[in-house]
Structures are given as C-alpha cells and as structure tokens.
Structure 1
Amino acid sequence: MKALLQRTVFPENHHYVPEGAWTRSAFTVLRAGKAITAPDHCIRRDSYPGQDILFCAAGRGFVSSEGRTLSVKPKQLAWLANETTHAHWPDADDPWTVFFVRIDGPDCPVMRRKVFNGRATVATISTPAVLEAWFGRLFEVLRARDDGVDLTLNRLVAELMHLIAASLVNPAESRLPVQLRAVVSQMRQAPEQPWHARQLASVAGLSAAQTRRLFQKHLHISPRRWLIRERIMMAQKLLLESDAAVSAIAERCGFCDVYHLSREFKRSTGTSPRVWRKGEGR
C-alpha cells in the first residue's frame, strides 16, 4: 500500500505526432497532461525535442534549466530549455501537482527568449484559472483529434504565449514615458510623413540619441522599424477598403515607390500586397 501511494498519478496524459514537416512551419503540441507527483518523481535529460512547460497547481517543485536551479510554487509556470541539459522534480515534503505541455515548432528557443526577454524562465501567472481552463481546452482537442487539429493546436500555443507574456508585464514598466507617448501618437496620426530623427527629437523634447534609446528600451524596436510597421498596417487598411492601385497606396503610405512597399510588405506578411489583397478580400 505504501508503494502505491508513492506512485505518480497521471489523471491526464496525451501524446500527439504531427506530420513531419509541420513543426518546420508552425507550432504544435507533442504531449500534455496533468500529474499528481510522488516525492521521487524526477526527470533528467541531456536534451530532448521540443520545449517542456510546467505549471504548478499545488505543492512545490524545482526545475534545472540553462545552468539555473529554480524553485516553482503554486501559480507559477516554468519553461525548460530542452535543447540543453535540464531536469525537474517535486519538493520531497510537498510534491507538486503539475500541468505540463511539450510544444515544438520553428526555433523554439527563439520563442522562449522572446517571451522571457532574457529573464529567468519562471513566471507567476496572474490568471491561474484562465491557464487551467486553457489546459482543459487543450486536453479536449487532444482527446477528440478532429479534422484541423494541427491548426487548432497552433492557435492554442499562440494563446499560451500571450498568457505567459501577460503575466511577465510589470504595469509600471508597461506605461510609456510621456515623451515617447507624444512621439508615438504623432507618428501614428501621420505614418506617411518622413519623420526624420531631428523631427522626432523635437516632438519628444530630447536629443535624437535619447529618443532612439526610448524606443529600444520600451518598444524594443528602432523608430524607423516602428514607422514601417505602422505604414504596413496603413497599407493593409487601404488595400482592403479601396480599389486604389498598389502604386498609389505606396505613395499614400510614405513608401519611396511600389517596389519599396512590396519589399517591406513581404518581409512583414510573407506575401506581396496584391496577393494579400486578393486573399484577404475573398
């Protein structure tokens, strides 16, 4: 009886094998479940496909990843770097109950670094009930295996990334400085304008270098790339809402010519303005 009580119980445990080429182009889920762990339940690996993400619902546990050993408490999530040596195990005195999911897709480590922005890969989830509900929906999808399961799993992974990222945002840091708000507001009202560095600095009341540093610190992008992104969104709106020629839209949005628009549009969306207009219009 004592040995039975020490066994890890898996109330949910699902595996999925997508088509071979799928993970080169989109994210998916390889495994997911829920475990009520025994004190001696320890997993250690040199490396493993995909990325394991664990959410502690009760108890406590530990993860070792990227040379760090981190404690994980209830309402906390840990993301393991499976491409390196990693491990996870429960607290011997208070073994955790853990939800787990293994994702895979194009360059998972880049996604992990983007979400955590260089910080330790443990996050306190601000909406744990929402995350548990997300796992519930994931289990239903994996049980049903309906047509379109790959697209559904891809969407669920995207939702998970947003849930994690939202929990990492510091409200004090998320408010932009007043100088940057002024610049962004004016650029957004007229993205077709050239917005040279001197003009941006004048709006911000700072030097050009200080304005550029504000963009990098708070928006993680240069003023030029931010402006191009706004122009692309403006072009998308015009492509759908008007019959104007692409060359006219390029000029209206501040691009040098139609070739400049096409190059930046394809870089952002993966397709040309004409193809995008046809597909989105339909």
Structure 2
Amino acid sequence: MEIKLSVRISETKTTIEFNDHQGVINILDAAKEITLDQPAVYILLKDHTIISIGKSEAGIFQNELDFNKIITVTPSWDIELDYLVQQFITEAVENDIKLANIPEIKTKIPASYKKTVTSYNNEVLFVLEKFGYHLKHHEEPKKTKAKPAKARHKWTKEVSQIEFFIDARGCKATALWHKRNEMLLKAGATMMPEPSLNKDGSLGFSAKMGQRIREDHKDKVKNFVTTEDIILKSVNEVGLFLYFGGTNSWLELIDANGKTLNEWTVVD
C-alpha cells in the first residue's frame, strides 16, 4: 500500500492530511481543553495503550476517562462516522484490546457499504501503524521463554461435512464449520445461563462479548436453549455465545470419534 500524505508536526500535535481531500488524522497530547473543528472518530490512549474508541461532535471534547493522548480521524465526506467507528471498535476487539464504554448496541454496516468503510479503515490503520500506533497489544517479550505463535486453522470441504459436539461448562451443542467464515450451531443447543463475574463483581470482556452475541440472536433462544439453527462467524463466537468463553473452543469441539476440531484443522 502507498498513500500520499501532508504532515505538520508541532510539540503537542501532529496533523496528517490525506491527498485529494480524503480526510485528516490528528494526534494530540491531552490538554485541559481540546476543541474539535468537525465531528470525528476518536481514539484515546493512556501511556500508548488504546483505552477507548468513539465518536464526538464538533466543539469542546469531554471524556471522563484518564488519557494522555487522543487521535481524531475526520474522514472524507462519503464515509459515515457511525460505520467507521464501528469498524475501528471491531478491529480493536478482534485484537483483544479491552475498551471502555463499548456501545451496547452494535452498529450494523450495510453490505453495500462494507467494502468502502473497510478500505478506508485499512488506510487509516496503515498510516497510524507507520506513526507507531497499533490497534493491538504490544507486550515486552519474555526473556526466559519465547511466546508461541498463535495457532492457525484451515477450513476444508471435508471438515465442513463433520458434526462436532460440545460438552463444556454445562453446555451441550452440535456445530459444523460449514463455510469458511461461518459456524452453524444446530437447534437444541443448551447455553450457560449467566456468566461468571470478576472478583469485584463486574462483567469481564468475554462476558460482555457473549451477551452482545446473544442479543443478536435472542429471537432464536428460549429458556437458554436454541430453537433454530444459528449462524455464527467463528469458533470463538460459538464459545462466547454458549458459555462466555474462558476456554479454548478449538479443543471443545469434538467429533464422534473423539478428534477435536483443532486436530482436524490446525496448520503446522
């Protein structure tokens, strides 16, 4: 990817302008009063860690969170802010970033608009990464032991025909990885009624994600049992939907011969 930019840098602010009026990114140090000239998507950071993503109207920016840097993205006229902020939030969640104040209701991006907003989102992330800001955690590597790479799994037509059974954390279900980007959860699956709480009585990140996925399919559930087949996006979504995560779901889906989905699909 190659993008032409105009950049202005001062002691407290970096302004990055896309060519052809395709939008502006501002990176600002936190101040007592921050004024936004236009409505924008914002990303709040504390010590270079992303803590919140949202949308703000023009005017004086206010937020109760403790942050010391803010990134604002004012896109081109053809990019809807609501869709762009949802795309940023989705990107952060998929990279295990714990965000504060995630909207309870997920904005649905129309299929006809998905390509446009995704393309613009990727360009913004590409630019931010070059300036040292990543929508993913960056932990110091352990000196005594290298961190193993995340397992990769490959979908095949053979796997798509196999029923996998789940018997974990009080839940029982049957699922198929029937398409490359879809898991089919068969009707009659039993779900964990309530998520476990943190020590302070609050809901954890996985619990919140599980509740949000359940909300999307509440019309197909009665008394914590699914009444219809449900399509989910991934193995992880299956685990979040059924038992709020908390375990490696690739190891919990097991075929009739005792072979896990991980064994069927993991790429060495």
> Where is the strand percentage greater, Structure 1 or Structure 2?
2
Return the index of the structure with the highest Cα Rg.
Answer: 1
Instruction: State the TM-score, normalizing by the size of structure 2.
Output: 0.33
Higher relative contact order (CA 8 A, sep 6+): 1
